[in-house]
Amino acid sequence: MLANLSALGIEHLIAIGGDDTLGYAAKLDGLGVKIIAIPKTMDNDVRNTEYCIGFSTAITRASDAIQRQRTTVGSHERIGIFRVFGRDAGFTALYTAYASSIRCVIPEHKVDLDKLIRLLVEDKRHNPSNYALVVLSEGATWEGYAPSLYGEADAYGHRKKASVAETLADEIKRRTGEETIASDLTYDLRSGDPDFIDKLVALTFGNMAYDAILAGKSGLMSALVEGRYDLVPIPDPKLGPRKLDVATTYNVERYRPIYSDKRGLPIFLNRAS
């Protein structure tokens, strides 16, 4: 990498990506490369910022897809199970549930599977249209469940996880006899134009990075902190991805987002660190 940068005459580098990409950016910064970072991941799990490019569009896409599929799930009187991104953090699932008013399961909290299934069956029976909905992070889990991995590892050692939505669908059928519809929304979230918030933030993050280069700065990342644009240190990769603050965002009894007591919190609810 250093040899290529030198050969190409690149004096400043802008790294755009999630925790893996930015972890390598931190390594290059330590080696003396002049580098500025921009956080971009639908998982929204980069430390030192409250927002990553792609997050708002992911929620918009997921909410729209769930709203469209309500008709199918309702007409067949089933339990609809939706899988979204979130290998290590539940931001995408939580905020999709928040916007869609449905239950969710996130990696930060292991749910009681018996209780989850009971709540979904109760939702279905109390619904005049006889259906229920839940959204799961790809890294969602419960006691006794460990997702199987398949395929070759990527450059950062990650292998693909078997669909937790399909596993939950099988458990519901086995335990209750209820029919389900499992839908994997992950790759659909990547398609189409970005929404307004992502266009606004992406343009601003990019200009902030360029301004930082012109000012001779390095080792910094465009960010949102306390709802304001800022330049912050590139996150230390040893700390791992940012996680949800379960106590302020997730109702562990109802497996739903917490809607109350939001005064004073940033617009995206979780602080940057």
Is residue 25 a contact partner of residue 15, using CB atoms and an 8 Å limit? yes
Q: Please count the other Cβ atoms lying within 10 Å of the Cβ belonging to residue 114.
A: 12
- How far is 225 from 137, CA to CA, in rounded Å? 25
Strands, sheet with 228-233, edge to edge from the N-terminal-most edge strand: 13-17, 35-39, 220-225, 228-233
Would residue 43 show up in a list of annotated catalytic residues for this protein? yes
**Of 43, 154, 195, 245, catalytic:** 43
- How far is 126 from 133, CA to CA, in rounded Å? 13
Tokens in use for 107? 């990696």
Best CA proximity match to 55, nearest among 67, 64, 68, 46: 46
Three-state SS string over 89-131 comes to: CCHHHHHHHHHHCCEEECCCCCECHHHHHHHHHHHHHHCCCCC
Is residue 214 a contact partner of residue 11, using CB atoms and an 8 Å limit? no
β 256-257/250-251 pair status: antiparallel
The secondary structure element, H or E, covering residue 232 is: strand 228-233
β 149-150/160-161 pair status: antiparallel
Show which residues are catalytic.
43
